């Protein structure tokens, strides 16, 4: 059973991430198309999960709503915010994503993926640090 996600908390995280809250009504979010708006931004509305848990839907709007949708996903899935977004819930449009709290397994998988992505860079940095330390000690490698 997912934990409750509140609209104002999700909106706060998105605004802190630099996105614009369009403050659309729920009726406007369900009726309008995302490309009707001149400014890129988001709107949130409530959603009731099949088990009755109140969750939040974040929708992207504007001429570049696809990019805004990706920014919403990126912001809310940061390790310190800890949400998971899905787009397979019934009743969601293409520009909307369901926001729920991430499970411990999902957070661990994200940490492993991030570590795997950063491993080549960390390896390079360690090698450069060893070379720099050797040069400072007067033992520069002969090439």
| Per-residue pLDDT reduced to its tens digit, 57-87 | 999 999 999 999 999 999 999 888 899 999 8
Q: Is 141 helix (H, G, I), strand (E, B) or coil?
A: coil
First-to-last CA distance in the chain?
Answer: 61
CB neighbour burial string for 5-29, b if at least 16 within 10 angstroms, e if fewer? bebeebbebbeeeebbebebeeeeb
pLDDT of residue 142: 55
pLDDT of residue 76: 95
pLDDT greater than 70 at residue 106: yes
pTM exceeding 0.85:
no
pLDDT of residue 116: 92
> Mean of the per-residue pLDDT values for the chain?
89
Q: Say if residues 77 and 89 touch (Cβ distance below 8 Å).
A: no
Residue 98's pLDDT band (cuts 50, 70, 90): very high
């Amino acid at each position: 059973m997912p934990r409750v996600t509140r609209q104002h908390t999700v909106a706060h995280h998105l605004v802190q991430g630099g996105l614009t809250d369009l403050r659309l009504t729920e009726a406007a979010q369900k009726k309008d198309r995302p490309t009707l708006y001149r400014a890129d931004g988001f709107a949130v509305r409530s959603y009731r999960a099949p088990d009755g848990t109140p969750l939040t839907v974040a929708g992207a709007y504007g001429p570049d709503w696809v990019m805004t949708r990706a920014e919403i996903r990126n912001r809310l899935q940061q390790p310190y915010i800890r949400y998971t977004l899905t787009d397979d819930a019934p009743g969601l449009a293409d520009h909307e994503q369901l926001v729920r709290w991430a499970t411990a397994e999902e957070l661990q998988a994200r940490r492993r993926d991030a570590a795997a992505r950063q491993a080549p860079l960390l390896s390079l940095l360690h090698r450069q640090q060893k070379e720099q330390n050797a040069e400072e000690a007067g033992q520069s490698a002969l090439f």
